[in-house]
Amino acid sequence: MKFKIKKEILNENLNNVSKALSNKNIIPILSGIKFELKEEGLYLIATDDDITIQSFIEKENSIEIFELGSIIIPGRYFIDIVRKIPTEEINLETDGLILNITTKTSQYNLNGMHYNDFPERTLELIKSPIVLSSKIIKNIVNQTSFSVSNQESRPILTGINLLINKDLLECVATDSYRLSKKILKLDNKFTDKINIVIPGKNLIELSKILDEKETNVEIHIFSNNILFKFSNILFQSRLLNGTYPDTSKLIKEEHILKITTNLEELYNVIDRASLLTNEKEKNVVKMDVFENELIISSTSLEIGNIEEKMSIEKDSKENIKIAFSSKYMMEALKSFKSEKIDIYLSGEIKPIILKEQENDSLIQLILPIKTF
Amino acid sequence: MKFKIKKEILNENLNNVSKALSNKNIIPILSGIKFELKEEGLYLIATDDDITIQSFIEKENSIEIFELGSIIIPGRYFIDIVRKIPTEEINLETDGLILNITTKTSQYNLNGMHYNDFPERTLELIKSPIVLSSKIIKNIVNQTSFSVSNQESRPILTGINLLINKDLLECVATDSYRLSKKILKLDNKFTDKINIVIPGKNLIELSKILDEKETNVEIHIFSNNILFKFSNILFQSRLLNGTYPDTSKLIKEEHILKITTNLEELYNVIDRASLLTNEKEKNVVKMDVFENELIISSTSLEIGNIEEKMSIEKDSKENIKIAFSSKYMMEALKSFKSEKIDIYLSGEIKPIILKEQENDSLIQLILPIKTF
C-alpha cells in the first residue's frame, strides 16, 4: 500500500471511525483501524464488536495512489499523529507490517497488524430502506436516549425500542422510573411491522457523527443489526435480543388536572430547588399545586430549605401535592423546545406526563416519589 | 444581620473567597464563609487553614444595611444559590443561626454556624511592603510553579523559594529533576534579606484571582505567613518551614555547545515525538545535535518510532546526543514568549539549560535521562 493523501480529509474521516475504536485493551485488534486502499479510494473501518463504522474517501481530488493494499494501524496513535502533523499532505507506505508516515522533515513508523486478523463485518444494504433526515434522527436520539437504563441487570432497557407500523414510527426509552416516547409520521407506508431494540449508547455515538443539516440517512434493518448509510459513511450497530416491555398502557388519556406553565421558567425553578438535593437521596423536589400557583420546594435537614412560587394555568379546580426526582424532571423538560409546557397529573402516586401544547409527538413520563 | 445587596457584586466577591473553601469535609466550619456586616460594608472571609482570603464589599452603591451582624454560611451551597438567582438584588437576613435569602418569588433558608466558631486569622499589614503589579506576579507564578514537586516526601520542594537581596528578587522552584528560576529587579532596595518558601499550589490559587491588568499588589511578609493586598482583597498563605536547598551552583556559566532555534517549532516537534511516549516510562524523547540539524526522536517497542529534523544555529562544532522527559521540556518551553530559544548543553549527563536570547531573567533547567 502506498499513497499520498490530503491531511484535512484524512483527519475528518478518521474522526468518523474513531467512535468505533475500542477503549478496552483486551483485544488489541479492536483498537486498530483497517485501511483498505482500492482503485476507487480509501476505506477506513473500525469496530468494537458493538458498532462498526466505515468511512470512504474517494480517490478524486484527495488521494494519489501508487500501490493498492491493506493494513491495520493502532487507531489512537495514528489519529494523534495525523492531527498534529503540520503539512497539508501526508505520504503513507507499508513496509511489511509497518506503516511509514513521511513528510518533508519527519518520518513516523507505526507497527501494524495483518488485515486478515480484522473481524469480518458484512455491511449489507436492503433494497428499500427507511429514509430520514440527519436532523430528525439527531432529534429523536436527543429526546429519548437520556431515559435508557444504565443498569446491566435488565439489558433490554439499555436500548431504545424502535417500532414501525405502516407509516408510523415510534421510539421509546425507559429505565422503569421514567419514559420518553417520540412519534413520527413517515412519508411511506411499510408493509412489514418492525419492532427492534437498539443499544442507546450506540445511537448517541451515531448522533455525534450526524450533521445538523438535512442530509438523507438510509436506515437498513436486519434481524440482528441495523445499518445507517449517509454521506460517505456506513454505521452499523448490533441489536439487543429480547422483548421490550409494552409501555403503551402507562400513558393514559385521563387525568384529573392539567397545568400549563412557562417551560424555561419551570426548568430554572427546579434547577434552583435541586441545589439542596443529592443523587443519593434521589434528588427529591416537591411540587405543590395550590389555586393558581405552583410551589416548588426542597429540604435538606443538614443544609436548609428552598421554596419558590410561580404562576400557572389550570384546567380544573383540583389541587395536588407530588414529589419527583429533579434530575429526571430537568432532563425531560430539556427535551422540549416550546415556550409553554403541559403537565398532566392523575394523582399523588400516578405518573406525571409532560407534553408540548397541542402536540402529541413527544411524551415524557416520570414516576413520582412517595415522600409520606 | 439584615441587608439588601446587588447580586452581581456579591457573586464576584464570593468567587474571590471561594478559592479558600476547604473541599475536605473533616472540619465543617472550613467549608463555610464568614459574613461580617459592619458600618462600612460587608467582609467575606474563607479559610482552609492553608490560605485565608478576605474580600470586602463597600457599602456605597452596593448594600443597603438594615442591621449589622455576623454569621457563617455553608460556602458552596450559598455560592450556587446566588449564582442561579435570577433577580438583580437579594435580601439577606439572619434568624438565629439561619440565613434567610429572599427574592420576590422565592425563599431560601440555609443553616449557618456561629461566627465565634470560625478560626481566628489575623490579617496584619506592615509599613513598607514590596509592591509589584498583578501582571508581573501572575507571570512569575506561571513561569515557575509547574516545577514544584507534588511529592509530600520532601515538603519543602512543594513550595516556591522567594529570595530578596537589596533590589534583586529571585524565585526558584524545583522538584529535583528540573528547575525554574525567575529574576527581577525591584524599584526599591531592601535592607533586610528575605528567604522564604511559599506553597506552590497557594500561589496558583492567588494567580487565578489576580487580574491581567497592572493592578498594584502589596506583598507583606511575616515569619510564618505572607499576605497579598490588592483591590478589595486580602490573600494570606502560610509559609513552609525548613531550609530550601541552595540551587545556585546547578546553573553554571560554562557550556560546550549552545544551540539556537525557533521556540514554537521546537515545541511542536517535541509534542509530536512525545505521542509515542508515556508517563510511566518518563516520556523519554531523544535529541541528537548533528552538524546543523537537530534530530528529535522517540521509540516505543510496541507501537513504533518517530523521527523529526529541524535546522538550528550552533556556537561550536560539538555534536551531542541527549535524552530528556518531553513533558518537562514542553512545560519549560511553554514558559518563554520569545521567537527563538537558546539551549545550553554541557554534556550527555549534564543539565540542559534554556534561556531567551540575551535575556537572563528566566532560566529553565532540565536534568537529562540516561538511556544507554
Q: Is the pLDDT at B288 greater than 80, yes or no?
A: yes
Smallest Cα–Cα separation from B237: which of B208, B197, B296?
B197
The pLDDT assigned to B120 comes to 87
Q: Residue A192: pLDDT band by 50, 70, 90 thresholds?
A: confident
Fold equal for B130-238 and B257-366: yes
| Angle, alpha carbons A127-A132-A135 (nearest 5°) | 150
pLDDT score at B322: 97
CATH fold of A130-238? DNA Polymerase III; Chain A, domain 2 (3.10.150)
Convert the pLDDT of each residue in A46-103 to its tens digit.
999 899 999 999 999 899 999 999 999 999 999 999 999 999 999 999 999 999 999 9
- Amino acid at the residue B53: I
Is residue A24 scored above 80 in pLDDT?
no
Are A86 and B268 in contact (CB < 8 Å)? yes
- pLDDT at position B372 is 65
A173 contacts: CB under 8 Å, gap ≥ 6: A144, A145, A146, A147, A148, A159, A160, A161, A179, A180, A200
The confidence score (pLDDT) of residue A212 equals 85
pLDDT of B142 > 90? The answer is: yes
Domain B2-117 has CATH 3.10.150.10: yes
Q: Identify whether the C-beta of residue B149 lies closer than 8 Å to the C-beta of residue B240.
A: no
> Which residues of A fall within a CB distance of 8 Å from B275?
77, 80-81, 84
B105, B111, B276 ranked by CB distance to A303: nearest: B111
- Asked whether the predicted pLDDT for residue A11 surpasses 90, the reply is yes
What integer pLDDT is reported at residue B249 of this predicted model? Answer: 85
* Chain A closest-CA separation from residue B280 CA (Å): 17
Interface check for B95 against chain A (CB to CB < 8 A): the answer is: no
Rounded-to-5 percentages of helix, strand, coil across chain A: 20, 45, 30
Interface test with B, best of A268, A272, A312 (most B CBs within 10 A): A272
**What number is the average pLDDT over the span A288-294?**
95
Superfamily of domain B257-366: DNA Polymerase III, subunit A, domain 2 (3.10.150.10)
Of A110, A272, A302, the CB nearest to B84: A272
Chain B residues touching residue A33 (CB < 8 angstroms): none
Cβ neighbours of A98 in B, within 8 Å: 304
Sign of CA dihedral B27, B28, B29, B30: positive
Reported residue count of chain A is 372
Please check whether residue B349 touches A, CB under 8 A.
no
**CA B265 vs CA A77, A104, B187, B331: distances in Å:** 21, 14, 36, 14
Show which of residues 257-276 on chain A sit within 8 Å of chain B, judged by CB atoms.
268, 271-272, 275-276
- Taking an 8 Å cut-off on Cβ atoms, the answer to whether B304 and A107 are in contact is no
Mean pLDDT over the full length of chain B:
94
- Check whether B24 has a pLDDT greater than 80: no
Nearest neighbour of B105 by CB, restricted to A74, A98, A309: A309
Q: Which among A109, A275, A302 has CB closest to B84?
A: A275
pLDDT category of residue A231 using cuts at 50, 70 and 90: very high
Q: Report which of B253, B250, B252, B296 is spatially closest to residue B276, judged by C-alpha positions.
A: B296
Give the Cα separation of A200 and A235 in Å (integer): 14
pTM of the model: 0.92
Q: Name every chain B residue with its beta carbon within 8 A of the beta carbon of A268.
A: 84, 86
Structure-block grid coordinates of residue A360: 402529541
pLDDT value at residue B252: 80
CA angle A344/A347/A351 to nearest 5° reads 60
Domain boundaries, chain A: 2-117, 130-238, 257-366
Q: Residue B92 above 80 pLDDT?
A: yes
Confidence band for A332, pLDDT divided at 50, 70 and 90: very high
The SS3 of residue A25 is coil
- Residue type present at position A1: M
pLDDT digits (tens, 9 = 90+) for B170-215: 999 999 999 999 999 998 888 889 999 999 999 999 999 998 888 9
Closest-CA distance, A273 to chain B, in angstroms, reads 9
DSSP H stretches of helix in A160-262: 200-209
Residue partners of B103: CB distance under 8 A and separation at least 6: B85, B86, B87, B89, B90, B91
pLDDT tens digit sequence for B51-82: 999 999 999 989 999 999 999 999 999 999 99
Counting Cβ atoms within 10 Å, is residue A207 exposed (0-12), middle (13-18) or buried (19+)?
middle
What pLDDT does B280 receive? 86
pLDDT at A61: 84
